[in-house]
Structure 1
Amino acid sequence: MRLVAITTMRNEAPFILEWVAYHQEIGVTDFLIFSNDCEDGTHQMLDRLAALGHVHHERNRAGGKKSVQWRALSKARNHPAVKGAEWIYVTDVDEFLCIHVGDGRIADLIAACPDAEGFALPWRMFGNAGLRDFVDAPVLTQFTQAAPERLLWPWRAVQFKSLYRSDPCYDRLGVHRPKLVEGAEWGHWIDGNGRRLPDIPGTIHLTTAPRYGLAQINHYALGSMESFLVKVARGKPNHESDPIDLAYWSDRNLNIVEDRRILRHQAAVAARVETLKSDPEIAELHEEGVAWRKARIAELMTHSDSFYLFARLQQMPDTRVLPMSQQRALLQGLGVMRTAEKARKEEG
């Protein structure tokens, strides 16, 4: 079975080896990685991993009408790694697919639902856990506090990403879900709890039922407070004009329950990372990426916006999960607000 993971990266050198090693361990066979505008050695590390046969690497660039992520996805659709794949998974370097069935590998997920044409894999937000400093340590062991099983709000925390069979019914790749050919219909898709996915618009599955019985995507969107400053300065890869700010932090800093299930693979992942680092060039590029990030954090702390953001992050409590009645009320209010906004735009 050939399964390709497609992603974009910018200045992610300290995190690449863990992410690649983990997904190799659970069964990803091919990686198609686009990098853009990197200053920390990400380009060079991906070039070296490609030379060693671990990934396919394409250099991308920002600019133009499309965001850098959408430009990458447009290029990816015709790449040989995608053309030759049986399964496709569009993801990000801060997302780790955590499978709960069997031995926790992709083959076990597919075996659990052999008729599935696609899996709508729910995000499970992993909060900051109160960690201030950026350190060169595994993401998976640092951040183990997550969102609860049942959640409706913040709605950004309950989106999903897709793992799906390659099929002509899909016209284009998408960040969260592929785009259907005109006139085509969604086939047999499964949610993260093993249920048939209802016919829903968009990429938000609003349900109060358990979400994660079969699988989840551990989304480490925040990282340490220091690393978050670097993310703020970088911006979003698919919505370059949208800020990453305290609102972004508040929607994702969910430290409600401990979830360490992904760590069943930790020993194997650590061994794979060390094997990758046995290449002297890879090891050196990793250390240079860590040093760049530490220097970038120090430089950002000399600017007032970054300094005060860092102070406020330390002052902010964990995001509180509201009673379900309030979550439902906020969703209803969101619908009313968006309808009113649309009407105002149509009026002029």
Structure 2
Amino acid sequence: MDMSSEILTRIGCILVMIPIMGFWFNKGSAHEKLKKKYISRDSFSLNLAPLKHKRLGFHCIILIIVFFTAGATILHQTFQVTLEEVLLDTNLRIPLRLSGIKMTEYNLQESASQRQVEQNHGFLLIQDVVLLPDEVLLLVPLSSQKFRFKDKESLQCSFEDNFYTQLKGIEYLDRAQGVAAVRCQAPGQDVQWSAKSVALVDNIHNPVVTETMKVNAVFMNYSQPIEWHHMVYESFITGKDIVLFAKGINHKQGLNVATKDLRCIFNGTIETTVTVSAQEVFRCQHPEEDVLYQLYGSKITLSVHGNPIPSVIYYDMPPSYHRPLRYAHIRTTESKKMKLCACTMVFNVAKFIREWVMYNSHLGVEHFFLYDNNSEDNLEQILESGLSGYNVSRYPWPWAKTQEAGFSHCALMAREKCQWMMYTDVDEFVFSHSWLNKQVGPEVEGIQAVKSNSKALTAGALLNMVMSLSSQRKKPSRISESHIGQVSFKCRNFGPSGLTEHPDRGVTQGYTCRERQEKRFKSILLLEAASPSLLNIIHRFQLKKGYKTLYVKSSMAVINHYKYQAWSEFKVKFKRRVSAYVVDWSESKNPTSQDRTPGLSNKAIQPRDWEHRFCEVNDTSLKDFAIRVFSLVSARSPKCVDATSPMVSNSQLELLMGALSILQSLVSVQTTKEHSEDLL
């Protein structure tokens, strides 16, 4: 029996049963009394508590089954979903409250329909194709957030005319439905291809089967990939509005398209106003409540002067309307929030990250948010194995030249978790001479003695400094200047310090010579003080009215920026600058930019005297501080013994272990020969 016959049969049964049930229900005075007793006309609800009459109970059960079957049939045909999907609120998340909404009027975007086709038939479909610099990004909706590709090392990217390129990586984006971001090496300019031709295959060019999922070349939206520099690429849904992140609208720093010339477009049909236009951040109002469910899963984009731009973002309703909630944070009281967190954007920093996390963790940073911009050095594995005892979250962020937008997104995402957010790079370390000069106490022996002097240590020193500075209030001249919403520190730039390779013991131990002049500022932001525009320039945010920035004097604290490192590390910066409004060094534009390095051209050619440049002041203060602090930390807690490893090279560690082995053998000279051999 086909589906249409089955539907007609069910409808026929229902039509036959309704008059029979009606005739039974209305006959006789006894049944009328029972009807009044057990069934309320106003609410049309059954009261089965006093039910004793077996015959009536039997017929009531039949009545419930009939209405339940009829409802399921109508629901299935009207909404095109199964009853299980409705009850579990999964996949399409059709609401249980259906009044006033005609689901048959849905006009979902084609790609949203593809997502459901994929789940019904077991196929993974490529939803969007983005052309990044040197890469092609495939966005693949997944059946669930837990789905993962297996044996991805054997996968290849297939283009037209049997042309194959290397699979560079697969990331899983933080989206409500689950989306895989598949990065493929871009074909050469001489290769003609379309978005429809892209697929994933195994190393012998067969379709890939992962469990019950097949990676297929099906792609039905358009033939040309989206250009990375002109698109809506990310979003953040709040209860009040939608924050879209888009490139290609506000081209220059400080020159923003007026909000009156912008519209937020849902499904190509519904428009809402744009309330904020700043850098790559645009805030849009939600559609009217009566069409929210109709628009779920449809594409969102921005129109400029009536012209929509490409987008890879699909509408997920406000957190209060469905579950599971995207970025749904239960509102946390200030007392339960973490006091100080840190956020940074990273690329291939696996060799640096351990030193930076441990140093800042000692100073009071409680949570680290890493926006990973397509790293290729196994950063995820390093975080799992080398920093498992620290609170570090890694967020895949595949979008090129979007540092400001990433910081804005981080401010939104972490606002319910943290009070203050430090925005520095992994080669930047906050330092105060007062920490080095702090009285540690007399020489002590043993772990317990060191613990008794823990108040003299500098644990949490940065957190304490921020809390102290933010609580200081001079007599304000205006009410709007009474609250400190941001603390900014000057930067001291360090040079290669005579090194030709990356220092084994870390940047704080290897680079000790710097420029005399202090340049720029880096900041720690009170998240609630950030302006709705989320505007930020060089790690400093625009603040709401009622807040101001406190610029810390260098005598109190600075940031040691290990900027000009050994050439093998420094030349990587020629690949691409992360800021949206900074010209890449390989380009000849804007040669006088402060972001450029003095004395270098637009080619990564090492100067002869590079290792001796930018060296005017010999400064070992932070190096000495780190040695003192981490040696004390290792004595205070066995959990932190590995904190000394960045300060000790492998060869030194082998010598220390050898000396320890000899010492143990001398101490145990009275033991048996077998035991002595075990020690040696």
Per the shorter chain, which TM-score range? 0.5 to 0.7
2:430 corresponds to which of 85, 90, 97: 97
The 5 Å alignment of 1:297-336 reads: none
**Distance (whole Å) between structure 1 residues aligned to residue 420 and residue 494 of structure 2:** 26
CA 112–260 in structure 1, closer or farther in 2 if over 3 Å, else same: farther
- Measured after TM superposition, the shift of residue 160 of structure 1 is 0.2
User: What's the secondary structure of 1:25's corresponding residue?
Assistant: helix
Give the count of matched residue pairs: 249
Query: What amino acid is aligned across from residue 216 of structure 1 in structure 2?
Result: V
SS of the aligned residue for 2:564 comes to coil
Unaligned runs of 5+ residues in structure 2 are 1-337, 439-457, 473-483, 601-609, 651-680
- 1:51–1:71 Cα change, 3 Å: farther
8 Å contact kept, 1:47–1:57: no
Q: CA deviation at 1:242?
A: 1.7
Q: Distance in 2 between matches of 1:117 and 1:179?
A: 10
Instruction: Report deviation, 1:140.
Output: 0.6
1:177 counterpart residue number = 540
Q: 1:56 to 1:82 in 2, by over 3 A?
A: farther
The residue that corresponds to 1:331 in the other structure is none
Tell me, in whole angstroms, the C-alpha distance in 2 between the residues paired with 1:98 and 1:250: 29
Rg bigger for which structure?
2
Q: Which residue of 1 aligns with 2:508?
A: 140
1:27-176 alignment, distance < 5 Å: 27-46=364-383, 52-63=389-400, 67-79=401-413, 81-102=414-435, 103=438, 105-110=461-466, 113=469, 114-115=471-472, 116-148=484-516, 151=517, 158-171=519-532, 172=534, 174=536, 175-176=538-539
Say if 2:551 is the partner of 1:191: yes
* Structure 1 or 2: more strand by fraction: 2
Distance 2:504 2:373 in 1: 23
Helix, strand or coil at the partner of 1:83:
coil
Residue 40 of structure 1: how far off its partner (Å): 1.1
- Counting only pairs closer than 5 Å after superposition, residues 180-329 of structure 1 correspond to structure 2 as 180-181=543-544, 184=545, 186-187=547-548, 189-193=549-553, 212-232=554-574, 234-239=575-580, 241-243=583-585, 247-248=596-597, 250=599, 253-262=613-622, 263-269=624-630
Q: Give a deviation string over 1:148-199, Cα, whole Å, max 9, x none.
A: 2xx3xxxxx6110111323245332634211234xx2652x33231xxxxxx
Q: Give the Cα–Cα distance (whole angstroms) in 2 for the partners of residues 276 and 72 of structure 1.
A: 31
Distance change in 2, residues 1:101/1:138 (3 Å): same
Quick one: distance in 2 between partners of 1:173 and 1:278?
39
Tell which deviates more after alignment, 137-146 or 12-21. Answer: 137-146
Q: CA deviation at 1:241?
A: 4.0
Which of 12, 17, 23 aligns to 2:349? It is: 12
Distance 1:141 1:185 in 2: 41
Q: 1:278, 1:264 → 2: CA distance?
A: 17
- The CA deviation at 1:130 is 2.4
Inter-partner Cα distance in structure 1 for 2:493 and 2:423: 18
Q: In terms of mean alpha carbon deviation, does 159-168 or 249-258 score higher?
A: 249-258
Offset of residue 227 of structure 1? 1.4
Deviation of residue 78 (structure 1)?
2.5
Cα distance between partner residues in 1 of 2:428 and 2:418? 21
How far off is 1:68 after superposition?
Answer: 3.1
Cα distance in 2, alignment partners of residues 244 and 143 from structure 1: 26
Assess, with a 3 A threshold, how the Cα gap between structure 1 residues 275 and 243 changes in structure 2: closer, same or farther: farther
Shift of 1:99: 2.2
Secondary structure of the corresponding residue to residue 490 of structure 2? strand
C-alpha change, 1:111 and 1:10, in structure 2 (3 Å) is closer
CA RMSD of superposed structures (Å): 3.5
Task: Give the structure 1 partner of residue 105 of structure 2.
Answer: none
> Which whole-Å deviations, capped at 9, do the CAs of 1:29-69 have from their partners, x for residues lacking one?
11111112111112332355676552111111024xxx232
Q: Deviations over 1:115-143 (max 9, x none)?
A: 24432200111111121123422111111
Q: Is the 8 A contact 1:236 1:242 kept in 2?
A: yes
What whole-Å deviation, never above 9, does each CA across 1:326-345 have from its counterpart, x for those lacking one?
xxxxxxxxxxxxxxxxxxxx
Give the 3 Å change call, closer, same or farther, for CA 117–70 of structure 1 in structure 2. closer
**1:29 and 1:214 mapped to 2: Cα distance?**
22
The SS at the match of 2:404 is helix
Q: Which runs of 5+ in 1 are unaligned?
A: 152-156, 194-211, 288-348
- Helix, strand or coil at the partner of 1:129: coil
Matches within 5 A, 1:328-347: none
Q: Is the 8 A contact 1:49 1:55 kept in 2?
A: no
Q: Would the aligned equivalents of 2:354 and 2:387 in 1 still touch at CA under 8 Å?
A: no
The TM-score normalised by the length of structure 1 is: 0.61
Q: Which moved more, 1:160-169 or 1:106-115?
A: 106-115
Cα distance in 1, alignment partners of residues 508 and 599 from structure 2? 21
Query: Distance in 1 between the 2:425 and 2:528 partners?
Result: 22
Maintained 8 Å contact 1:4/1:82: no
Provide Cα deviations, 1:87-124, integer angstroms capped at 9, x if missing partner. 12111011111123355621442365332443220011
Q: Which has the higher contact order (CA 8 A, sep 6+)?
A: 1
Instruction: Classify 1:25/1:278 alpha carbon distance in 2 versus 1 (closer, same or farther; 3 Å).
Output: closer
- SS of residue paired to 1:217: strand
For 1:112 and 1:146, locate their aligned partners in 2 and report how far apart those are by CA, in whole Å: 29
Contact preservation (8 Å) 1:126, 1:147: yes
Whether the aligned pair in 2 keeps the contact of 1:6 and 1:33 (CA below 8 Å) is yes
Work out the CA distance in 2 between the residues paired with 1:142 and 1:87: 30
Task: Work out whether residues 7 and 32 of structure 1, in 8 Å CA contact, stay in contact via their aligned partners in 2.
Answer: yes
1:230 maps to amino acid:
V
- The structure where helix makes up a greater share of residues is 1
| Structure 2 CA distance for aligned equivalents of residues 168 and 227 of structure 1 | 36
- 4+ residue segments displaced more than 4 Å: 47-53, 244-247, 249-253, 270-279
Matched residue of 2:418: which SS?
Answer: coil
What TM-score do the two structures reach when normalised by structure 2?
0.33
Distance 1:128 1:241, change over 3 A: same
1:268 deviates by 3.4
